[in-house]
């Protein structure tokens, strides 16, 4: 009997996709996290949300949790692969500084969504996390439940080129995969989204299948590559220009980091789409990644000169 048994049936994490999200939100809210909403831009992973990338920097404590829709244009499979989508959800938790009982808190959260450690084989398997585009790395694990990776657990060491002091702990739950496991479903599109049955049941496929088909066509075939190359160049230019306008010199706070970082996110997404369209060669690829990293690093350096960054 796990903690979720007290919830109304449709909201139980093992019954509905939304029930899983609500349970995680409630769990981390009870642990003192700010529950944020998704960032309103296209990002490749929950880590890109400024609530993680930027807030991980500087000395101020910060505890937050949120769902982030993530877009990986290259992972599109026209809705034909039951496990791989170009748009999916991550549940992201960041705790700064990392509390001494972070592993226990994480296991408690699994228990809250119905994973009983007396029945399941839970494992912390080495995973050195690195985001070349964000200029970030950390050490931690893939968290396995019965042989399946259900989360990533990372102690950030460096983000946006800045050393983390103190270190933040980051948890990322792959929501679709976790929900498939909890609901006992082999096909992601068959996930029960709202927890109701019969006519009233809404599946993940009802919500997202058409989007997967359309966006796969877009990402691989239709996206205007000339426009994307322009977008990339413009976002890169704008990011640097905003950073330079917001700079007030020695000892003064920076005034223009968040809008500049938005441009870094835009550049990154444009690159991901260009990559999916197959118009970036192997050698160019590296140079685009480096360009985005330079933007992220410039934003990180500016962030620590802001109030939230501890200046």
Partner 1 sequence: MPDLLFELFSEEIPARMQRQAAEDLKRLVTNALVDRGLTYEGAKAFATPRRLALNIVGLPVRQPDTREEKKGPRVGSPDAAVQGFLKSAGLTDIAQAKIESDPKKGEFYVAVIEKKGGATLDVLAEILPGIIRTFPWPKSMRWGAASTSSSSLRWVRPLRAIVATFGAETEEPEIVPFEVDGLKAGNVTYGHRFLAPGAITVRRFDDYVTKLEAAKVVLDADRRKDIVRHEAKNLAFAQGLEVIEDEGLLEEVAGLVEWPVVLMGSFEEAFLDVPGEVIRATIRANQKCFVLKKADGTAEAKAMGGELANRFLLISNIIAKDGGKTIIAGNERVIRARLSDAKFFWDTDRKVWKEDPEFKRLEKFKNVTFHEKLGSQWDRIERIRALAKELCKVTGADEAEVDLAARLCKADLQTEVVGEFPEVQGLMGRKYATILGLPASVAAACEEHYKPVGPTDSVPTDKVSVTVALADKLDTLVGFWAIDEKPTGSKDPYALRRAALGVIRLIVENGLAGGLRQITVFSGRLVMAQLFEVSRSRKVSLPSEAILGAIQNPAFKEFGETIERLVTLLKDEKSTVPPQSWEIDRSNDLLSFFHDRLKVMLRDQGARHDLVDAVLANGEANDDLLLVVRRVEALGKFLETEDGKSLLAGCKRAANILRAEEKKDGEGKFEAAANPALLAEASEKALHDALSIVGEAAAIALQKQDFEAAMRAMAKLRAPVDAFFEAVMVNADDPAIRQNRLALLAALRRVTRQVADFGKIAG
Query: Residue 189 CB, nearest distance to partner 1 (Å)?
Result: 14
Query: Residue 166 CB, nearest distance to partner 1 (Å)?
Result: 4
Q: Is the bond into 220 cis (omega within 30 degrees of 0)?
A: no
Query: Residue 120 CB, nearest distance to partner 1 (Å)?
Result: 6
Which phi and psi angles does 267 have, rounded to 5°?
A: -60, -45
Give residues 29-68 in contact with partner 1 (rule: CB under 8 A): 59
Which phi and psi angles does 92 have, rounded to 5°?
A: -120, 135
CA torsion, ordered 148, 153, 159, 162, to nearest 10 deg: -150
Nearer to partner 1, 32 or 166 (CB): 166
CA distance 301 to 275: 28
Binding of partner 1 by 25 (CB under 8 A): no
Tell me which stretch binds partner 1 (CB under 8 A): 65-73, 159-167, 213-221, 264-272.
159-167
Mind giving me the DSSP string for 80-91?
Answer: --SS--SEEEEE
Q: How many residues bind partner 1 (CB under 8 A)?
A: 40
Nearer to partner 1, 37 or 283 (CB): 283
Which secondary-structure segment (H or E) carries 153? strand 148-159
Binding of partner 1 by 78 (CB under 8 A): no
Tell me which stretch binds partner 1 (CB under 8 A): 11-19, 38-46, 138-146, 257-265.
138-146
Binding of partner 1 by 130 (CB under 8 A): no
Pairing relationship of beta strands 162-163 and 169-174 according to DSSP bridges: unpaired
Tell me which stretch binds partner 1 (CB under 8 A): 35-43, 45-53, 160-168, 213-221.
160-168
Binding of partner 1 by 69 (CB under 8 A): no
User: Binding partner 1 by CB under 8 A: which of 25, 103, 108, 205?
Assistant: 103
Which phi and psi angles does 149 have, rounded to 5°?
A: -75, 120
**Packed helices 282-303 and 225-246: angle between N→C axes, nearest 10 degrees:** 30
Site string for partner 1, 274-293 (x = CB under 8 A): -------xxx----------
User: Binding partner 1 by CB under 8 A: which of 120, 201, 209, 255?
Assistant: 120
Q: How far is CA 168 from the centre of its chain?
A: 15
> In Å, what is the CA distance from 47 to each residue of 65, 70, 267?
11, 10, 16
Q: Are 127 and 144 in contact (CB under 8 A)?
A: no
User: Binding partner 1 by CB under 8 A: which of 64, 65, 134, 145?
Assistant: 145
How many Cβ atoms from other residues are within 10 Å of residue 183's Cβ?
Answer: 19
Residues near partner 1 (CB under 8 A) are 59, 83, 97-100, 103, 116-126, 128, 138-141, 145-148, 155, 157, 163-167, 169, 181, 186, 281-283
């Amino acid at each position: 009997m796990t903690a979720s048994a007290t919830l109304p049936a449709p909201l139980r994490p093992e019954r509905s996709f939304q029930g899983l999200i609500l349970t995680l939100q409630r769990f981390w809210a009870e642990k003192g996290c700010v529950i944020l909403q998704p960032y309103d831009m296209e990002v490749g992973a929950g880590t890109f949300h400024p609530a993680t990338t930027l807030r991980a920097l500087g000395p101020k404590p910060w505890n937050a949790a949120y769902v982030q829709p993530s877009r990986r244009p290259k992972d599109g499979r026209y809705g034909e692969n039951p496990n791989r989508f170009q748009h999916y959800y991550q549940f992201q938790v960041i705790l700064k500084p990392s509390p001494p009982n972070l592993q226990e808190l994480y296991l408690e959260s699994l228990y809250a969504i119905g994973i009983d450690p007396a029945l399941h084989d839970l494992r912390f398997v080495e995973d050195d996390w690195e985001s070349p585009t964000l200029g970030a790395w950390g050490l931690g694990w893939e968290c396995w439940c019965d042989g399946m990776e259900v989360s990533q657990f990372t102690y950030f060491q460096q983000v946006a080129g800045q050393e983390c002091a103190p270190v933040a702990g980051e948890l990322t739950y792959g929501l679709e995969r976790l929900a498939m496991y909890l609901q006992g479903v082999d096909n992601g599109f068959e996930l029960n989204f709202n927890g109701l049955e019969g006519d009233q049941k809404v599946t993940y496929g009802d919500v997202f299948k058409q989007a997967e088909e359309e966006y796969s066509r877009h990402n691989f075939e239709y996206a205007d590559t000339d426009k994307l190359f322009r977008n990339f160049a413009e976002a890169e230019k704008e990011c640097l220009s905003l950073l330079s306008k917001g700079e007030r010199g020695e000892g003064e706070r920076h005034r223009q980091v968040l809008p500049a970082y938005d441009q870094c996110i835009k550049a990154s997404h444009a690159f991901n789409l260009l990559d999916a369209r197959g118009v970036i060669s192997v050698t160019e690829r590296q140079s685009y990644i480096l360009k985005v990293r330079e933007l992220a690093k410039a934003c990180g350096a500016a962030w620590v000169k802001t109030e939230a960054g501890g200046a």
